[in-house]
Amino acid sequence: VQFYGSQDRDAYYPKAIELMEKEIEAGEVNALAWMGKLYELSDHDPNYTKALEYYDKAAAAGHKDAKEEARRIRAMIEYDAQF
């Protein structure tokens, strides 16, 4: 989900999350990965734990890139925990 021309993408995040939740309920595997991306890339308050949760779900559901995304987020969380 991209919001072109927006000065404040976070203003649109609640709606994007709502739309992704509907897609997830409908069984859309890509929506799981996009939800992870939304939580990861929030300009205001990235939530890597939630991002990891959704990447893991997407990987378990067979999304082709989600396993690598989850690995990358895990490494970031582990690195941050050292400091």
Higher pLDDT, 29 or 82: 29
Q: Report whether pLDDT(43) > 80.
A: no
The pLDDT assigned to 34 comes to: 95
Question: How large is the angle between the packed helices 66-81 and 48-60, nearest 10 degrees?
Answer: 150
Question: Which pTM was predicted?
Answer: 0.83
The pLDDT assigned to 41 comes to: 87
> Quick one: pLDDT band at residue 8, thresholds 50, 70, 90?
low
> Quick one: pLDDT band at residue 9, thresholds 50, 70, 90?
low
Q: Report whether pLDDT(14) > 80.
A: yes
CB 17 within 8 A of CB 35: yes
CA distance 30 to 13: 17
